[in-house]
Structure 1
Amino acid sequence: MSAITVRLIMPDRWLEHVAELSADTTVADAKAFGIREMLQRSSDDPADFYTEFAERRIRDETRTLADVGIGARGVLSIRAYDLGHYAPFRG
């Protein structure tokens, strides 16, 4: 598939990274890439973060950017789980 320009943001930390990613990149891979690029370290666990597109949480991060509807100049928000947004229970 073709490459698209995606704006990866961490609004709670005022961080942003613009990247060329393939439209068939999974949301999970885009999230992991964005975390590494914006935080400049590889020690953060992507499972500690969730993603949003158009202010809606993406629950199935195995979907591709194209499946979710992120096109050229799309914005993917990466947010840490916190008191207002709990991580899924993995009992």
Structure 2
Amino acid sequence: MNASERITVRLMMPDRWLEHVAELPADTTVEAAKAFGIREMLQRSSDDPADFYTEYAERRIRDETRTLADVGMPPRGVLSIRAYDLGHYPPFRG
């Protein structure tokens, strides 16, 4: 897949039963896709994307600067967006 291709991605917030299907360029970063999904699904811009993490194929994506193509996102692939909670702590930044 080259960077100029567009792929259809299912952005999901499983803990909130929300889903949004979007066609994004393959060179979109996971971080940008996550921010887009949060805005589209929650319908507000006040949520900080840093309060959420992403999963692909039930595995956490630790480096969200990677592109959708880099993580191997297939057409109709699912990117799960989850809020940090008691079982999943945000990275320590201190």
Distance in 2 of aligned mates of 1:65 and 1:17: 16
Cα RMSD after superposing both structures: 0.3
Q: Deviations over 1:3-26 (max 9, x none)?
A: 100000000000000000000000
Task: Give the CA deviation at 1:37.
Answer: 0.1
Instruction: Determine the structure 1 residue equivalent to 2:52.
Output: 49
TM-score, normalised with respect to structure 1: 0.99
Q: Percent identity?
A: 87
Match of 1:4 among 3, 7, 22: 7
> Which structure 1 residue ranges, 5 or more long, are not aligned?
none
TM-score, normalised with respect to structure 2: 0.96
Give the total of aligned pairs: 91
Deviating beyond 6 angstroms after TM superposition, the runs of 4 or more aligned structure 1 residues are none
Match of 2:16 among 13, 17, 37: 13
Instruction: Determine the structure 2 residue equivalent to 1:67.
Output: 70
Q: Deviations over 1:67-89 (max 9, x none)?
A: 00102110000000000000001
Distance in 1 of aligned mates of 2:33 and 2:70: 13
Distance in 1 of aligned mates of 2:76 and 2:44: 25
Opposite residue 80 of structure 1, the aligned amino acid is A
Higher helix share: 1
Distance in 1 of aligned mates of 2:86 and 2:80: 18
Distance in 2 of aligned mates of 1:87 and 1:63: 19
Instruction: Determine the structure 2 residue equivalent to 1:80.
Output: 83
